[in-house]
Amino acid sequence: MKKQMVLRTKKNDMSSQPIGIFDSGLGGLTVAKEIFRQLPYEDVIYYGDTARVPYGNKSKKTITKFSLENADFLKEYNVKLIIVACNTACSLSLQALKKKIDIPIVGVIEPAVKRAIQISKNGKIGIIGTNSTINSKAYDKKIKKIDKAMQVSSKTCPLFVPLVEEGWLNKDITYKIAKTYLDCFKRRNVDTLILACTHYPLLIKVISTIMGSKVKLVDSASEVAKVAKTTLKRIDSLSEEKEKPSYQFYVSDEPAYFTKVGEKFLGRKINCARKV
Amino acid sequence: MKKQMVLRTKKNDMSSQPIGIFDSGLGGLTVAKEIFRQLPYEDVIYYGDTARVPYGNKSKKTITKFSLENADFLKEYNVKLIIVACNTACSLSLQALKKKIDIPIVGVIEPAVKRAIQISKNGKIGIIGTNSTINSKAYDKKIKKIDKAMQVSSKTCPLFVPLVEEGWLNKDITYKIAKTYLDCFKRRNVDTLILACTHYPLLIKVISTIMGSKVKLVDSASEVAKVAKTTLKRIDSLSEEKEKPSYQFYVSDEPAYFTKVGEKFLGRKINCARKV
């Protein structure tokens, strides 16, 4: 077991503790990027469960087991807040995590849903994600819980993640695949589309081209960072020390692939350590 | 732990024991299908490690740990032969398995490589597979070990597996992606292409259309079934009882997705049990 770690010499209150983020792999780096941007004085521990990625086609029981293990790993680093950056884990396991882990936990679903409801003018919201996220209906249920009048439609886009990892972000083929997946939303006249997978922000140019400028895209990474900030303020744990923060990345498998592709996600160098 | 199981009431020699097949997921069902066809009187236990699929981007150490666990699972069923249907597991872990497991083990690489060398006329062999399989250079090394004069070129095709699982076997997009991946082999004038991933036989129509009729495709499923038969004959363990065999499928995650997609691979109904 790893020992608790204090990343910088600061007064030993909650504000100096790092924020923990976990994801099934590297998709959550889009969330990390937003945290770095919106909360520039926070230390961050990122954990990608790359030995067991992807979570997209796995069962609730399996995902919950993995998620609890991931949260336990972050707890060893004395994190003050855990962000579950994986949509599948949020869809299937957020309640179990909140019940069992005694640290504030923020998921990616609710922030995106609230934003979508807020900006939709015609009440027609679309959702795209992996098989598990879409089949779980977690987004649909959350939207309906907040506003019954919303009309929700959703679609699995299983090729988007491998397209992103392949780096085919601006190819003809990518536009064609996106058109195949997204045309149904245009027929249904949705005016707001939630990107319910952390890989999808890298396809934002493709998706917005297909959907047209009238359709608003909601990227959960940006929304979850706002909620993380509000949560830390509420519990009086926002870091106020204007030092250069420390970012640490851990993975459950060898870091080579994570580092190579992850640097494209983050737009910065990753010095990655493997989980023991 | 599961108890040893005798599937049918037969004389208690090796021939009545089942063949074990494991794969990271459902791709190995193309191997199972060939075993059913070429060895029609053998009982088969198939194990798909669907909780940890895919193996394609994971490290040697991780894959070896998973592979040993999978082989141990099959051993509990008293199998007489283990077929490692996963190319990644064969590339990275076959030696470790052969060292640690006291049952004959057959992988998918050597049978395909021997066949390719046998049928290539110009000595230019191409290989397509997942990141791990191609990066491991296991096929290249095996070819060079048998015949140094062969010219080998290889290419990762990471979108082929999700295309197969999406069921896009005959779409325009699939042809376009295949063309992007395969054109390099045409430029290099290869006359033999090894499909080094068990999912790829489902794309055989697309791949052969792109490559043209002069290029021979080597599908490891068919070759490994021949080697399994030879191996069982050699150790005098081929089943000679002309009864209807028993096929059992186990997975490490919930069976819903495996069953749904797997039935397309096998062309028959799957009654699947989850591993406890």
- Residues A109-128, mean pLDDT to the nearest whole number: 98
pLDDT of residue B272: 78
Q: What is the pLDDT of residues B114-158, one digit of tens each?
A: 999 999 999 999 999 988 789 889 999 999 999 999 999 999 999
Judging contacts by C-beta atoms under 8 Å, the chain A residues touching residue B58 are 50-51, 253-254
Q: Do A173 and B173 touch (CB under 8 A)?
A: yes
Query: What's the confidence (pLDDT) of residue B3?
Result: 42
Nearest neighbour of B162 by CB, restricted to A51, A159, A176: A159
**pLDDT at residue number B8:** 47
Q: How confident is the model at residue A272 (pLDDT cuts 50, 70, 90)?
A: confident
pLDDT above 90 covers a percentage of chain B that reads: 79
Task: Copy the structure tokens of residue B249.
Answer: 């499928």
Write down all domains in chain B, each with its CATH number in brackets: 14-107+222-274 (3.40.50.1860), 110-220 (3.40.50.1860)
Q: What share of chain A is helix, strand, coil (3-state, %, to 5)?
A: 45, 15, 35
Mean pLDDT score, B194-214: 96
- Measured between alpha carbons, how far is B75 from B69 in angstroms, rounded to an integer? 10
Cβ–Cβ < 8 Å for A213, A95: no
Q: What percent of chain A has pLDDT above 90?
A: 79
3-class secondary structure, B156: strand
CB B198 within 8 A of CB B108: yes
pLDDT at site B153: 97
**β-strand pairing of A44-48 with A247-251:** parallel
Tell me if B109 sits within 8 A of B87, measured CB to CB: yes
Residue B58: the pLDDT is 82
pLDDT, position A6: 46
| Burial class (CB within 10 angstroms; exposed 0-12, middle 13-18, buried 19+) of B182 | buried
pLDDT in tens, A1-59: 344 444 544 444 789 999 999 999 999 999 999 999 999 999 999 999 998 888 877 88
State the ipTM, two decimals.
Answer: 0.81
If residue A250 lies in a helix (H) or strand (E), which one and from where to where? strand A247-251
Cα within 13 Å of Cα(A92), Cβ side: 26
Spatial distance between the Cα atoms of B190 and B178, rounded to a whole number of angstroms: 16
A58 contacts on B by Cβ (under 8 Å): 50-51, 253-254
Catalytic positions of B, written as ranges = 86, 197
Whose structure tokens read 């509420």?
A234
Give the residue with greater pLDDT, B274 vs B135: B135
Of B57, B177, B257, the CB nearest to A57: B257
Is residue B1's pLDDT more than 90? no
Query: Nearest CB to A180: which of B54, B59, B173?
Result: B173
Q: Is the pLDDT of residue B178 over 60?
A: yes
Identify the pLDDT of residue B276.
Answer: 57
Chain A hits for B183, Cβ within 8 Å: none
User: Tell me: the pLDDT tens digits for A150-197?
Assistant: 999 999 999 999 999 899 999 999 999 999 999 999 999 999 999 999
Q: What is the pLDDT of residue B54?
A: 81
CB of A12 closer than 8 Å to CB of A180: no
Highest mean pLDDT range out of A142-146, A196-200, B272-276? A142-146
Q: Which among B24, B52, B57 is the top mutation candidate for probing chain A, defined by the most A β-carbons within 10 Å of its own β-carbon?
A: B57
In degrees and rounded to multiples of 5, residue A107 shows phi and psi of -105, 175
CA distance A259 to chain B (A): 12
The total number of residues written for chain B in this structure:
276
* Peptide linkage before B54 cis (omega within 30 of 0): yes
Q: Are B156 and B131 in contact (CB under 8 A)?
A: yes
pTM assigned to the model: 0.85
